[in-house]
Amino acid sequence: MTEETHEHPSRPYFKVLVILAVLTIIEVSVTYTGISEAILLWILLSLAFVKANLVIAFYMHVKYEPKPWLLYTIVFVLPFALAFPMAFFPTVG
């Protein structure tokens, strides 16, 4: 087992935590600026998308897996693409 022990000293976990906190503060601040809800929706969704992908890439260490894009596609993109139309299109199929 010892030779298999993973050593990755410089993973930026704390940096990611700080970025997540800053993005959260930006998100909440933006809601108080009085931008119209229709535009606000896209700003907030973009920020949430970045935050979610930071957690997936670093904390779920998808970035460090042997095949990150394949894993990301199979676990997140495809199931989302399958389920999303079912929630939004009542006549899907």
Partner 1 sequence: MEEEHEHVSGMAPIVGLSFAVTGFGLLEFSQGNYAMAFLLVGIFLAVVVGSVVKEIKKRSETVEAHEDEEVPIQFKKDPIFGFMGKKLWIWIFLISEVIFFTLIIGLSFSLRLVVDEGLGYREIAKFCGLPTDSNLFGLYPAGWVDQEGRAPHEVLDIPLTTLNTFVLITSSYTMVKAHEAAEKGDFLGKWGARNYLLMTAGIGATFLSIQVFEYVSLIINENFTVQSGLFGATFYLQTGFHGMHVLGGIIMILFMVYKIQSGAMKDSSDVEITGLYWHFIDVVWIMLFTLVYLV
Per CB under 8 A, 13 contacts partner 1? yes
Query: Which are the contacts of 6, defined by CB distance < 8 A and separation ≥ 6?
Result: none
Asked if residue 62 lies in contact with residue 72, where contact means CB atoms within 8 angstroms, the answer is yes
Q: Does 63 bind partner 1 (CB under 8 A)?
A: no
The reply to whether 31 sits near partner 1 by the rule CB under 8 A is yes
22 touching partner 1, by CB under 8 A? no
Between the CA of residue 20 and those of 11, 13, 44, 49, 64, what are the distances in Å?
Answer: 15, 11, 13, 11, 19
Binding flags for partner 1, 70-89, as an x/- string (CB under 8 A): xx--xxx-xxx-xxx-xxxx
Distance from C-alpha of 88 to C-alpha of 74, rounded to nearest angstrom: 21
Contacts with partner 1, residue ranges (CB under 8 A) = 1, 4-7, 11, 13-14, 16-17, 20-21, 24, 27-28, 31, 37-38, 40-41, 44-45, 47-48, 51-52, 55-56, 58-60, 65-67, 70-71, 74-76, 78-80, 82-84, 86-93
